[in-house]
Structure 1
Amino acid sequence: MTRHRIGIIGAGAIGQLLFQQFQQLLTNTPPLANGLWVQLISREPESVQQSLCFTDINQHEQQTVVDVLGQHSPEIAKLDVIIVCVKAYQVDDLINELLPNLAPNCHIILLHNGMGPHINLAQRLLGYPQMGLSLATTSQGALRSAKWHIAHTGIGQTIIGHYSGITLKQPIKNILLKAIPNASWHDQILSALWQKLVINCAINPLTAFYQCRNGQLANDEYKAEIKQIIAECITVAAADNVELEMLACHELVYKVIALTSNNLSSMYQDIYHQRQTEIDYISGYIVARGTHHQIAVKANNINLQRIKRLEAQQKSPS
């Protein structure tokens, strides 16, 4: 039997959630246990045995003791696939550390908010002709209440698609789609990522700046701002050869606002907890691509500067 080895690096809320979902697949489908090896990898250098606490979507809690690999573990060289679940601004440094230790035919899947790191990584992988790169986005909800305790807080969709290099092997693709609830393969992955980017641009920086829950953005006072943000994203996407439709994007943004009305966006939480945000890979990506194409993106630039100022205030002495 062919053995498939999958690593999930980044032990934050989404990384731990995916690991737990793979573990449930192994439990519910015993034959897979003989042919599938799934490992959670932290950003620490050394491996440790760790007790993980997981609260599922039905509020059932379970604890498991697992070996969490460190980045220096020799087991990493055996991986067929590695799913990278770190912040967008951490991807470049992480890949620099990982690449020399990966198998020459390992397939990399990036799963993070925003866009940008895939461009540099695809260029780097030109020097690794047996490797491939896929991109993914998820709207699953997960909350980390402690370092090794996460809760599944929202059922969402996960979309995965090929971007460059060698394509993902079909048996592993099937395992991914079976393990992750509501997961699907998307041949036009950049289009799907751009749609998610439009949502992030319209919601995250506004909730962080106005210090509000997602649902407040449905109020009339934000309509003009949201409309301009969406329009700029669509114009820049078109210059990047991705066609998005204004009405569809507008409806999608307000659908997400309604479905997540009581949520605090990730960027709001980053500002609240005085953490670095992913603004450079959300509004900042629109600004960078707009500059590249000589397209004015005033609303997105305003949001970029707003969040940059909030981050700078956090760093300045009180």
Structure 2
Amino acid sequence: MARSINLDKKQQTIYGWLLLLPAGVLLSLFAFYPAVATFWSSLFSRGTRRRAAEFVGTENYTALFNDPTFWVVVKNNLIYAAATVPISIGIALAMALWANSKIPARGFVRTAYFTPTVLPMIAAANLWLFFYTPDLGLLDQIGGLFGFSSVNWLGRPDTALWAVIIVTIWKEAGFFMIFYLAALQTIPEDLREAANIEGASRWTFTRRIVLPLLMPTTLFIMVNAMINSVKLIDHLFILTKGGPNDASKLILYYIWEMAFAFFDAPAAAATTVIVLVVLCTVAAVQFFMLDRRTHYQ
């Protein structure tokens, strides 16, 4: 009997590892190996036809930290993340609460909120390019009706980054709304009925019951929003190309520029490693800090 029980446990262990094998292979091929290869590449100099790449250790990181453009990009990305992450999440939550309530044409409202998400990134950027074009753009046309002068939204250092931020918020809020909407529909109706019996207001019910129950979804969305804050590159190609004077250049565009415009793959690899470390650290802090306030049941 004991031998049979041990055999069953062994079979279950083998079965469990077989279930994990496909995910392990995919993660190894497309996540772990590229990360290790990128780190290894960042430790070598840029090779040429006449001179092979040499091991230089942390020289690429030192040169990166001494590059003023790098710190401009870091500042831009911090502003970009600080604006897009909380605002996108806040708007997504408000839209989900509104779209989940009993309102007329609820299906149309949900579709309207979600429509920007299904647009390709390039198409969305070209749409907003029509809004931002000086003199001819929709914003300047509306401003002209009230006597405002034309503004080159994408050509001024003080407005270019904020113009890109608005595009990102417009596109991501509808995507995050879908997760909140799905989570709201899993909240038992009994809780609402009990709150009504106790005389709780709608705001009290939302603050004391709905928002705590949405914390797992908020944590998931927050991590994804942080990752998305360093992934933007499509809009920049169409809208600003990182200009003017690097005022709207973000980290992924900076990496692409070093790798494919300046052909400095080791420097791009070093920047990528730094981004991965920062993202992993931020995600870990978010999980450990917010997990205590998260209700999973």
Q: TM-score range by the shorter chain?
A: under 0.3
User: Under a length normalisation based on structure 1, what TM-score does the superposition of the two structures give?
Assistant: 0.21
Q: Which has the higher contact order (CA 8 A, sep 6+)?
A: 2
Higher helix share: 2
